[in-house]
Amino acid sequence: MKEFPFHTFLNLVMFDRSITALEETIERKEAQLEQVQQQLQAHELLQEQLKEAEHVAQKTVDLQELDSKTLDIRIAKIKYNLDNVANPKEYASLSKELAKAQLEQQELETSLLDAWHTLESSKRDLQRSHSTHREQQAEITAQIAALQQEIDACDQQMAQLLAQRAEKQVGIPEEWLQKYEMMRNRITDPVVPIADKNCSGCAYVLSEQDLMRLSNRALLQCKHCFRFLYDPKLLNAMDVS
């Protein structure tokens, strides 16, 4: 196992930790943004639904008023015919027709009253919602803009970090970089300190010989979990700029 610069490697690891932390921040902000956008959509949907309800209620009132007018004309006609009947049979038939139409008119009046109530309450709901809607919409839109700005700033920071990363790899053997990348794709902590003579990732007990090498500024791979190991005592003396 070829040894390589301790400082350089740990610098890269810490640099990558800041990349991961920034990635997590971006993910969190994007989730927030999505949530706020959904809030705005829900808000707009509610407004649409209230408008639609008012529209339907108005249409129902209009139709029933039209029906009522048509029925009034029909009743007036029946009454006119009743005044000019030729025989009792025709009179009886028209009387029956009139009673039926008048019953229909009563039912229609009740129904029209209900339709009016529905229209009034839907107008009230819409008005109430409309007054708070603009205010909340402005608030949510401002939140979206602020979050978007924060995400843009994070993205810029990320681009800068990624541009610097190649520099951080200089001096680390390709073979180790590959091993590290592989581990990094699999687990969140590919490089861990030893803790009480054990790998702090999997608790594997290290040999005295490995502990010696670690204290001598070497980096080893754990024989059990393959994480990279280092001696944390050496970190204190390390310049991690």
202 touches Zn ion by CB under 5 A: yes
Report whether 26 contacts 151 (CB < 8 A). Answer: yes
CB of 168 to Zn ion, least distance (A): 24
The CA distance from 172 to 16, in Å, is 14
Return the range that interacts with Zn ion (CB under 5 A); candidates 75-83, 102-110, 123-131, 220-228. 220-228
Query: Considering the complex, what minimum distance in angstroms separates the CB of residue 222 from Zn ion?
Result: 3
Among 14, 33, 75, 225, binds Zn ion (CB under 5 A): 225
Amino acid at 14: M
69 sits near Zn ion (criterion: CB under 5 A) = no
Burial class (CB in 10 A: 0-12, 13-18, 19+), 96: exposed
CB-based contact 137:40 (threshold 8 Å): yes
Nearest distance from residue 150's CB to Zn ion, in Å? Answer: 37
The whole-angstrom separation of Cα 56 and Cα 47 is 14
Q: Which of 216, 224, 232, 240 binds Zn ion (CB under 5 A)?
A: 224
* Residue 201 engages Zn ion in binding (rule: CB under 5 A): yes
Q: Does 26 bind Zn ion (CB under 5 A)?
A: no
Q: How far is the CB of 191 from Zn ion (least distance, A)?
A: 11
Rounded alpha-carbon distances, angstroms, from residue 135 to 40, 125, 194:
12, 16, 56
> What is the H or E stretch that residue 180 is in?
helix 174-186
Find the part of the chain contacting Zn ion (CB under 5 A) among 66-74, 89-97, 137-145, 221-229.
Answer: 221-229
Verify binding: residue 222, Zn ion, rule CB under 5 A.
Answer: yes
Among 199, 214, 219, 220, binds Zn ion (CB under 5 A): 199
**How far is it, in rounded angstroms, from Cα 67 to Cα 110?**
13
183 lies in the site for Zn ion, by CB under 5 A = no
Residues that bind Zn ion (CB under 5 A): 199, 201-202, 204, 222, 224-225, 227
